[in-house]
């Protein structure tokens, strides 16, 4: 099978924000061409100042983001999402598509996915890596797949770090828009009592189940459901997390209080920084108090309590 490559040209000065937005579509499968500081980068990385002339001729004003998709997964929707996000962020872009062989893809992305320490206790690690763990962190094993979330993106890391202090042996967790299941899995590995994840996407649900099994988790401790937001959810929870997008959070949040135990915590992320105040105000209108606001890489995470 061939993969579809989406190549996005953006101004070099916007590369950090533009790549963060692209990571929201497929956080496991992008790479960036940016020749703006080629000489300095070559020296810092390899301590060389002899660079191929073809590289020196590269356009320094434009960077390229390469995103990869299985063509059966409706990449047109992702392209529309990216264009909408870039327009909202005032980032000009052009998009072209190409096909690459599966073997080329398989040989390239693994070398970029390495173990990652998150928070005080967690170490996220791909299954093919043998890791040294002198700090005796809790290891979460997860491989990149077609569902969002290996823990590396700022939005996910902020939630992982924010929720860690709230995890106890009595904590029941609800993960809305669970993607790969990384948040639910992390909560359980950190000691939570049980976790329920829900996602509208069939592939995300499949991957979340497989990722749970990879970490020794299955029902009833770890339950993954397919449904629209909280459509199939019942019961109440000590911790609710939603790492999705601003519009979905605003749509979802009026229903969340019905699923909260007394003194429960609601953590939301996936919010572009420029929409942080809008989402905070929307949460306030639903009766939530924002106790903590975290910003990183142009994204916002909000930790909330019900008034």
pLDDT tens string 95-145: 887 776 655 545 555 655 678 888 899 988 887 777 788 888 999 988 765
Q: Between vectors from CA 159 to CA 158 and to CA 163, what angle results, nearest 5°?
A: 120
Which pLDDT value is given to residue 34?
65
Residue-wise pLDDT for 231-262, tens only, equals 889 999 999 999 988 888 999 999 999 999 99
What DSSP letter does each residue of 264-284 carry, written as one string?
EEEEEEEEEGGGHHHHHHHHH
Report residues of the chain scoring pLDDT below 50: 37-57, 105, 146-147
User: Residue 271 and residue 266: Cα distance in Å, rounded?
Assistant: 14
For 5, 9, 23, 148, the CA distances from 100, given in Å and listed in that order, are 7, 18, 19, 21
289 backbone dihedrals φ, ψ, rounded to 5°: -105, 125
Q: Where are the domains of the chain?
A: 2-110, 147-306
User: Closest by alpha carbon to 269, among 148, 155, 150, 154?
Assistant: 155
Tell me which fold the domain 2-110 belongs to: Alpha-Beta Plaits (3.30.70)
Which pLDDT value is given to residue 181?
92
- Report yes or no: 156 and 182 within 8 Å, Cβ to Cβ: yes
**Domain 147-306, CATH:** 3.40.50.150
Q: The whole model's pTM is what?
A: 0.67
């Amino acid at each position: 099978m061939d993969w579809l490559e989406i190549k996005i040209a953006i101004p070099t000065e916007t590369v950090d924000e533009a790549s963060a937005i692209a990571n929201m579509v497929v956080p496991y499968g992008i790479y960036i061409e940016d020749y703006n500081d080629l000489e300095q980068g070559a020296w810092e990385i390899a301590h060389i100042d002899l660079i191929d002339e073809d590289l020196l001729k590269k356009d320094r004003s434009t960077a390229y983001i390469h995103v990869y998709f299985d063509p059966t997964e409706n990449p047109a929707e992702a392209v529309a999402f990216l264009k909408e996000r870039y327009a909202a962020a005032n980032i000009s872009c052009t998009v072209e598509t190409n096909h690459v062989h599966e073997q080329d893809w398989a040989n390239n992305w693994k070398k970029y996915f390495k173990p990652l320490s998150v928070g005080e206790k967690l170490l996220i690690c791909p299954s093919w890596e043998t890791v040294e763990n002198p700090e005796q962190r809790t290891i979460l094993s997860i491989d990149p797949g077609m569902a969002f979330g290996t823990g590396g993106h700022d939005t996910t890391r902020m939630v992982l770090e924010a929720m860690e202090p709230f995890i106890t042996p009595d904590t029941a967790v609800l993960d809305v828009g669970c993607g790969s299941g990384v948040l639910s899995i992390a909560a359980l590995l950190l000691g939570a009592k049980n976790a329920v994840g829900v996602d509208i996407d069939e592939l995300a649900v499949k991957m979340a189940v497989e990722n749970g099994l990879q970490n020794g988790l299955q029902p009833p401790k770890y339950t993954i459901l397919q449904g629209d937001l909280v459509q199939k959810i019942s019961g109440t929870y000590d911790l609710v997390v939603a790492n999705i997008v601003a519009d979905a959070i605003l749509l979802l949040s009026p229903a969340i209080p019905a699923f909260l135990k007394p003194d429960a915590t609601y953590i939301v992320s996936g919010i572009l920084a420029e929409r942080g105040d809008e989402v905070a105000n929307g949460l306030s209108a639903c009766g939530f108090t924002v106790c903590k606001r975290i910003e990183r890489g142009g994204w916002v995470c909000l930790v909330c309590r019900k008034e």
